[in-house]
A and B are shown apart, each in its own frame.
Chain A
């Protein structure tokens, strides 16, 4: 006799960020379809506002969590903890910035309209779900919501490069999703559940002989491959330069920020939160992935001449840094005093996502002016044409290089600190040295902007909303860099997660 279905109780307020995002997406589509073209920029503003209000709601929920402690939602499907809210805030902030940048990018093209913003909001919802998922199936649903929207966005420009990028991303991403899903299936076979809490409970209550650990290990391996693809960690990074380069720049910004945040949040949920009992199995793998990403990312970034490809490889090396934090989190995962690894990864993610959106926003301004060329020569003489823009670029690039008094330094310091605290000295040294190699790349862009002779004398127009996004990103970068306590005061709560 089938069990009677009992509807889980739903705490609607705790779900409000997701609801707001979905409502925003649907509202844009429906109202946008029924009304004549809106005034310039209004689509962007509406989607930025939607994302912002979802972020603000997440902050309120964070307060609730701080009072009532972490728990789960909707019958254990979603986690209700500071981790989820932090990811939501980071995703919403990045989405809002990307929405602002998108306006000028699509203006006057066939893409101008509500659709692209609806897709952005839907993708962001998927990312938020990934960060909050307490069940592997929910995680997969979030991942697909994000990915499907991103495939469309990547191919949204009807150019050969754009189509190629979309197609590549779709095929390889689909493959990775399949691998991930297979991993989930195997893990289910070994652990008899897809719920993170139940998985952990099962490992706690059984010894290895009672369960099928080979299935768990095989599932773990496939999960790491699938997640490695999504975070663009070497050697699963090969799609990223082509896709980053071919996709429209605002979409690339979204991929590099929201995509990375979501994928890493999912990785933390799966590895650190669900599988702490296998930390000694997955930690060495992460170690290798981290080093490979750091070395490959920084080395290959240096030899590129296309700015978007450079930033793609630099994001691979940033993924390496984040994996250093994941590795650090793996030393004492699941223990009451689990170290700072998890927090440092989340802090890094939130800071990096703002940085990278700001950087790509400047790329949109400069490269649109240069007739769509994303070659580094487009930046030549930017310091003469637009000194303030060049200064913002410098701040953002220095932050990516990890120079002190920028948020990038705070992020790197946190990750390296957690690695050193676990005595992972080798990985910390390799990470820092590869950061120096990567710094050469940022210097190259700065040299071009400040020291090269201008190939163009006409200053590029800076659209208001893009300018606002750049200014916000630069200000966050400097303020957090000078006074990191603003952010760090919040992050202590992150280590008490729900499952």
Chain B
């Protein structure tokens, strides 16, 4: 509970883009420039509000802040309950920052300027949905936002994507909706079972459910898996990842940036907020499964990325690997690892978002994304190459850049509780270097041939868009403390909640003894 909470900040973060979307939709059809203007103003405003929230956030508290709560559908026990804590804070800010960059910096892949209008309307609606998902503290509300996000994304991929867009969009929609189908039943079952076991009334409120209800072990596991399927599809966890390369590759650049930047985080965030928090016992019980799938995802994603001939597909598969790290950290159940996971969610959003942005620039210049068609770009566009290098190194996880901090925390935190999984996962770090450096070598090194000789250098506008990305990459890489100290209290509370419910004791890093050669720290 925060002193400055009189201003309904979180509600504004959700409603302003939604209203902006409506305004864009109502803007005159003959003046497409209005659409972009409204979209820019709205998204910049939301970005500014989210940054202001970052400043006003009380970094010593693990509680939900800026809480806003109003009854919505009283007959069903549903309320408009929003709040933000250290786990969701940076995802909200990332959403707030990424959207204006995507709106201002990336032109829609369009042949007809009149189609700008629906494009911006969908983007803003998407922002409202993503924001809403990250700040919802009511299961119904979360489900509504989680599901509504599909519609704008479907139309963005289907309407402004590349050659195989309709198939990719449909696959994306159906896959995610299938996951949500299980989650919906699970949400309802959670609410009814909770009301019968301890709560005594029907409520969809996350905090009341998590604190007040207790589930029998087998019940909790079933319920958890209902949620977990939805999140696993969204993350995506191996073997449910097959929609992702298609959706990423066919989506317009802004769509890919948003998809990789924030939408995949809905899954990993969901695991933390709704999986671990609501069903600590089930999450603990099933962790070998998730750790194994995470590690398979890391290795599989990396190997698949190495094999890709399409630059965008390569980045897409690298996402599978990176998200494997996040899932690994989540299910390691140590403060360090979960803090690392939360941080890595943001890092991945920034670095992969930037990679998609730059791949989009390459496509715009050369009309190809095939690695084999590109060569020697460093010669003709050194600044572009330099920017790409920074982003790529951040994605690899080189010390001094943001990716390192997150990955390192995940690995070191997980080592105590999931040693052998970490051993395998660590090779993924090497593989990441392999596929990205190899791709870089093929695209940027060598002598440019005839077609690549005229590759234009980074333009001012493009540079201005990339600058915030690179700024965040370098800043959090060198000075991660402000970020970590905001994340940690919430993660600490989460681990404490798990401990209370399951009797689990978090192993302390200092307690590592050398002779304990084969334990897993349980």
Q: Do A and B come from one complex?
A: yes
Which residues of A line the B interface, CB within 8 A? 387, 398, 403-405, 409, 413, 416-417, 420-421, 425, 428-429, 432-433, 435-436, 439-440, 443, 447, 450-451, 484-485, 488-489, 491-492
CA distance A416 to B143 in the complex (A): 14
Residues B185 and A428 in contact, CB atoms below 8 Å apart = yes
B108 at the binding interface (Cβ < 8 Å):
no
**Chain B 70-93 interface mask (CB, 8 Å, partner A; 1/0):** 001111100000000000000000
A429 nearest CB neighbor, chain B only: B185
Q: Which residues of B are interface residues toward A (Cβ below 8 A)?
A: 72-76, 118, 143-145, 147-148, 150-151, 154-155, 158-159, 165-166, 170, 173-174, 177-178, 181-182, 184-185, 188-189, 192
Question: Which residues of A lie under 8 Å from residue B150 when comparing CB positions?
Answer: 403
Closest 6 CB pairs of A and B: A432-B181, A404-B144, A420-B188, A488-B75, A428-B185, A436-B178
Q: Identify which of B75, B154, B165, B189 contacts A492 (C-beta below 8 A).
A: B75
Question: What's the Cα separation between A331 and B155 when bound, in Å?
Answer: 41
B165 cross-chain contacts in A, Cβ below 8 A: 451
Contact A451:B144 (CB < 8 A) given known A403-B150, A429-B182, A439-B177:
no
Interface contacts (Cβ under 8 Å), in number, total: 75
Nearest Cβ distance between residue A201 and chain B, in whole angstroms? Answer: 32
Chain A residues lying within 8 Å of B181, measured Cβ to Cβ, are 429, 432-433, 435-436
List the A residue with the shortest CB-CB distance to B25. A391
Neighbouring A residues of B72 by C-beta, 8 Å: 485
A484–B144 CA distance with the chains assembled, in angstroms: 13
- B155: chain A residues at CB < 8 Å are 450
Q: How far is the CA of A440 from the CA of B167 in the complex (A)?
A: 11
Residue of B nearest to A485 (CB): B73
- The answer to whether B76 and A417 have CB atoms under 8 Å apart is yes
Tell me whether A436 and B151 are in contact in the complex, defined as CB-CB below 8 angstroms, given that A404-B143, A405-B144 are known contacts: no
Bound Cα distance A409, B192 (Å)? 19
CB distance from B64 to the nearest CB of A (A): 23
A439 near B188: Cβ-Cβ < 8 Å = no
Rounded to whole angstroms, the CA-CA distance of A416 and B174 in the bound complex is: 19
Structural contact, A416 and B188, CB atoms closer than 8 A: yes
The answer on a CB contact under 8 Å between B185 and A420 is yes
Bound CA–CA A216/B189 (angstroms): 35
**Chain B residues with CB under 8 A of A429:** 181-182, 185
Q: Name B175's closest neighbour in chain A (CB-CB).
A: A436
Contact A432 B158, CB 8 Å, known A403-B151, A451-B166, A492-B75: no
Closest to A410 in B: B73
Cβ 8 A contact of A440, one of B147, B170, B192: B170
Q: Return chain B residues, CB-CB under 8 Å to A420.
A: 185, 188-189, 192
A450 to B181, CA, bound (A): 26
> Taking the nearest CB of chain B, how far is it from the CB of A169, in angstroms?
34
Q: Cβ of A436: which chain B residues have Cβ within 8 Å of it?
A: 174, 177-178, 181
Closest to B184 in A: A432
Given known contacts A405-B144, A405-B148, A451 and B185 CB-to-CB distance under 8 angstroms:
no
Bound CA span A29–B155, Å: 49
- Interfacial chain A residues near B154, Cβ < 8 Å: 443
Partner of A403, one of B73, B76, B148, B170: B148
Task: Using A420-B189, A439-B173, A485-B72 as known contacts, list a sample of 13 further A-B pairs with CB atoms less than 8 Å apart, ordered by residue number in A.
Answer: A387-B118, A403-B148, A416-B185, A420-B192, A421-B188, A429-B182, A432-B184, A432-B185, A436-B181, A451-B158, A451-B159, A488-B76, A492-B75
Q: Name 23 A/B residue pairs within 8 A (Cβ), A-sorted.
A: A398-B151, A403-B150, A409-B144, A416-B185, A417-B188, A420-B185, A425-B185, A429-B181, A432-B184, A433-B181, A436-B177, A436-B181, A439-B174, A443-B154, A443-B170, A443-B173, A443-B174, A451-B165, A451-B166, A484-B73, A484-B76, A488-B75, A488-B76
Q: Which residues of B contact A492 (CB under 8 A)?
A: 75
- Closest beta carbon of chain A to B85's beta carbon, Å: 24
Per the bound structure, the CA–CA distance linking A293 and B321 in Å amounts to 41
Chain B residues with CB below 8 A from A488, complex form? 73, 75-76
CB distance from B317 to the nearest CB of A (A): 26
A229 to chain B, nearest CB (A): 29
Query: How far, in whole Å, are A488 and B74 apart by their CA atoms in the complex?
Result: 9
| Bound Cα distance A488, B177 (Å) | 26
A450/B144 in contact, CB under 8 A: no
- Residues of chain A with a CB closer than 8 A to B184's CB: 413, 416, 432
Q: A434: nearest residue on chain B (CB-CB)?
A: B181
Q: Which of B73, B75, B155, B192 has the most CB of A within 10 A?
A: B75
Most B CB atoms within 10 A — which of A387, A404, A451? A404
The CB with the most chain A CB atoms within 10 A, among B143, B145, B173, is that of B173
Chain B neighbourhood of A404, CB < 8 A: 143-145, 147-148
**Listed residue (A420, A439, A450) with the most chain B CB atoms within 10 angstroms of its CB:** A420
Q: How far is the CB of B57 from chain A (nearest CB, A)?
A: 29
* Residue in contact with A447 in the complex, picked from B147, B170, B178, CB distance below 8 Å: B170
Q: Interface centre among B150, B178, B185, B188, by most A CB within 10 Å?
A: B185
B270 to chain A, nearest CB (A): 16
Report Cα–Cα, A451/B165, bound state, in Å: 10
Q: How far is the CA of A416 from the CA of B140 in the complex (A)?
A: 13
Q: Are A432 and B159 in contact (CB under 8 A)?
A: no
B173 with A432: CB separation less than 8 A:
no
Tell me whether A425 and B189 are in contact (CB under 8 A).
yes
Which residue on A lies nearest to B141, using beta carbons? A404
Q: Are B159 and A450 in contact (CB under 8 A)?
A: yes
Expressed in whole angstroms, the minimum distance between the Cβ of B183 and any Cβ of chain A is 9
Q: Chain B residues with Cβ under 8 A from A489's Cβ?
A: 75
| Shortest Cβ distance from B188 into A: residue | A420
Hey, which chain A residues are within 8 Å of B74, CB to CB? 485
Q: Could you say which residues of chain B place their CB within 8 Å of the CB of A421?
A: 188, 192
Residues of chain A lying within 8 A (CB to CB) of residue B76:
417, 484, 488
Cα–Cα, bound, A432→B229 (Å):
14
| Chain A hits for B185, CB < 8 A | 416, 420, 425, 428-429, 432
Q: For the complex, what is the distance from the CA of A247 to the CA of B177, rounded to whole Å?
A: 33
State in angstroms the CA–CA spacing of A44 and B213 once bound together.
56
A150, chain B: closest CB distance, angstroms: 34
A440 touches B188 (CB 8 A): no
CA distance A417 to B187 in the complex (A): 9
CB closest residue in chain A, given B181: A432
B73: chain A residues at CB < 8 Å are: 484-485, 488
Q: How far is the CA of A221 from the CA of B144 in the complex (A)?
A: 40
Cα–Cα distance between A436 and B182 once the two chains are bound (Å): 11
Q: How far, in whole Å, are A180 and B497 apart by their CA atoms in the complex?
A: 59
Chain A neighbourhood of B178, CB < 8 A: 433, 436
- Residue on B nearest A448 in the bound complex, by CB: B166
Report Cα–Cα, A387/B188, bound state, in Å.
37
Q: Whole-angstrom distance from the CB of A499 to the nearest CB of chain B?
A: 25
CA distance A433 to B178 in the complex (A): 6
Once bound together, how far apart are the Cα atoms of A412 and B144, in whole Å? 13
A443 to B175 alpha-carbon distance, docked (Å)? 13
Please give, as numbers and ranges, the residues of chain B lying within 8 Å of A428 by CB-CB distance: 185, 188
Expressed in whole angstroms, the Cα–Cα distance for A450 and B177 within the complex equals: 21
Closest to A401 in B: B177
Which chain B residues lie closer than 8 Å to A451 at the CB level?
158-159, 165-166
Please measure, in the bound complex, the distance between the C-alpha atom of A398 and the C-alpha atom of B152, giving whole angstroms.
12
Known: A450-B159, A485-B74. A403 touches B188 (CB 8 A): no
Bound: A443/B165 CA distance, A:
13
